[in-house]
Amino acid sequence: MTVFEDQLSELNASFEDAYPQEVLRWAAESFGDRLAVVTSFQPTGIVTMHMLSEIAPKTTVLTLDTGLLFPETYALMDELEQRLNLRLIRVRPNQTVEQQSRTHGANLWEHDPDKCCNMRKTIPLGRVLGGYDAWITGLRRDQSNGRRATPMVSWDSKNGKVKLSPLATWNEEMIWAYIHAHELPYNPLHDQNYSSIGCYPCTQPVAPDSPDKRAGRWSGHVKTECGIHVATENSGTHVTTENSDIHMTTENKGDTIVAERQQGFTLWLTGLSGAGKTTISVALEQELRAREVYIERLDGDTVREGLTRDLGFSKEDRDKNIERVTYVAKLLSRNGVGVVAAFISPYREARQKAREQINNFIEVYVDASLEVCAGRDVKGLYAKAFAGELKGFTGVDDPYEAPESPELVIHSGQETLEESVGRILQYLEQRALIPAAVTA
């Protein structure tokens, strides 16, 4: 139990009769930019986004774009994004619908909707929620029997986040009254008896007098929830690792869902001092984080301030330096993290040892001539080396053994930073190690 779990009863008691705006204000003040709204642009989500646009307009809005939404839903997203000036991130699954058909059979939602929702909703949400401490949902107690006990605030043990449902106590009538009072746009399918709208293959209209507003979801299946609001008991979840792939197996009432998570990899940037390794690795880190890839950057300078501060620059010490970094990169990659390692790593043999130990090892040779690097001389080290004040300097009086067959060569003196980063990202995409870009 966390400290927060201890406070739940007290918080829920104080919020039970509160206006949703009070709960939202508390959330925004408590979590700041670590708070996100998760919405599928249904009426409750629209009300929430409108309230937040007045309370905390910079709050991130996450929506799961499964690739299978109604055209009306996509149009509504665009309209509300503009009207409320949303910081909207459309979170997409690793596989397109076509790729999913190839790997899991056509129309997976027909024969295994749990697996389909897991791949297209639950896993992408879990991935993106890693960047937040709390998330806001549009759950309401009147939506279905299964949601009658929805608390205002709870601990989402599956994602390890605080979960808020500020409109839990509102009913359908109150939601629509708010939407009309503020002249907010809504999905026109609601006027055609679609009371709850998700992916088009799994959504049907329902009779206007149906007490279950979610009866049109997954009709013909026992399924009633996509899974993102279904808590997973710790005792029912275990994680096993096989090489670099992590397979998370969730046992749920006898059903077994096996889902793939991000594969780890290590981009190993090698090259002379001043070749541009750090600059490229910083830009790569930003791009990869924007795609919600779990990432860790290891840099020669910062590693030497901690992990290897006892080492010097003799060949023996340089080898030990790379040996320790290799060990860290191996552990991270093995557990599904993408590593961007920027090290001069001058000796071929040391890099070969790293390659042999790390799965999905990608050697990137940042190739810039000694003249170009010395011309940059950001730290003034080349000047000292040429003057004989600095001994054993790579490329001057210590060798740099260029890679013989790296996966990628970056000519940093001839291409722009954007071109270099773009080529590396393209390579990772082709190897299916990262998802395509998430666009707002």
Environment class of residue 238 by beta-carbon count within 10 Å: exposed (0-12), middle (13-18) or buried (19+)? exposed
Stretch that binds ligand SF4, among 77-85, 195-203, 293-301, 367-375 (CB under 6 A): 195-203
Q: Is there binding between residue 121 and ligand SF4 (CB under 6 A)?
A: yes
Total chain residues near ligand SF4 (CB under 6 A): 13
Out of 162, 202, 267, 344, point to the residue binding ligand SF4 (CB under 6 A).
202
- Strand ranges across the sheet with 245-252: 237-242, 245-252, 255-260
Q: Which positions ≥6 away from 412 have C-beta within 8 Å?
A: 271, 275, 276, 280, 366, 367, 368, 372, 420
Query: Do the beta carbons of residue 108 and residue 221 sit within 8 Å?
Result: no
Q: Which is nearer to ligand SF4, 115 or 330 (CB)?
A: 115
CA 412/CA 141 separation, integer angstroms: 57
**DSSP for residue 337:** -
Residues 213-252 interacting with ligand SF4 (rule: CB under 6 A):
226
CA 416/CA 160 separation, integer angstroms: 40
CA 341/CA 351 separation, integer angstroms: 12
Q: Which positions ≥6 away from 389 have C-beta within 8 Å?
A: none
Out of 26, 31, 41, 109, point to the residue binding ligand SF4 (CB under 6 A).
109
Q: Is there binding between residue 262 and ligand SF4 (CB under 6 A)?
A: no
Angle at 125 between CA 427 and CA 332, to 5 degrees: 50
Q: Which is nearer to ligand SF4, 63 or 66 (CB)?
A: 66
CA 178/CA 398 separation, integer angstroms: 72
Catalytically active residues, by annotation = 226
x/- track of binding to ligand SF4 for residues 310-349 (CB under 6 A): ----------------------------------------
Q: What is the DSSP string of 243-291?
A: TTEEEEEEEETTEEEEEE-PPPEEEEEE--TTSSHHHHHHHHHHHHHHT
Q: Is there binding between residue 66 and ligand SF4 (CB under 6 A)?
A: yes
Q: Is there binding between residue 268 and ligand SF4 (CB under 6 A)?
A: no
Out of 56, 72, 120, 298, point to the residue binding ligand SF4 (CB under 6 A).
120
Q: Cβ 65 to ligand SF4, closest distance in Å?
A: 11
Q: Which is nearer to ligand SF4, 198 or 406 (CB)?
A: 198
User: Angle between the 20-31 and 3-15 helix axes, to the nearest 10 degrees?
Assistant: 150
Stretch that binds ligand SF4, among 117-125, 242-250, 255-263, 335-343 (CB under 6 A): 117-125
CA 289/CA 283 separation, integer angstroms: 10
Query: Do the beta carbons of residue 300 and residue 342 sit within 8 Å?
Result: yes
Out of 20, 113, 216, 403, point to the residue binding ligand SF4 (CB under 6 A).
113
Q: Is there binding between residue 298 and ligand SF4 (CB under 6 A)?
A: no
Residue of minimal Cβ distance to ligand SF4: 199
Q: Which is nearer to ligand SF4, 96 or 314 (CB)?
A: 96
Q: Is there binding between residue 117 and ligand SF4 (CB under 6 A)?
A: yes
Q: Is there binding between residue 123 and ligand SF4 (CB under 6 A)?
A: no
Q: Is there binding between residue 198 and ligand SF4 (CB under 6 A)?
A: yes
Q: Is there binding between residue 147 and ligand SF4 (CB under 6 A)?
A: no
Q: Is there binding between residue 92 and ligand SF4 (CB under 6 A)?
A: no
Q: Cβ 149 to ligand SF4, closest distance in Å?
A: 23
Q: How many CB atoms lie within 10 A of CB 348?
A: 15
Q: Is there binding between residue 67 and ligand SF4 (CB under 6 A)?
A: no
| Residues engaged in binding ligand SF4 (CB under 6 A) | 66, 68, 109, 113, 116-117, 120-121, 198-199, 201-202, 226
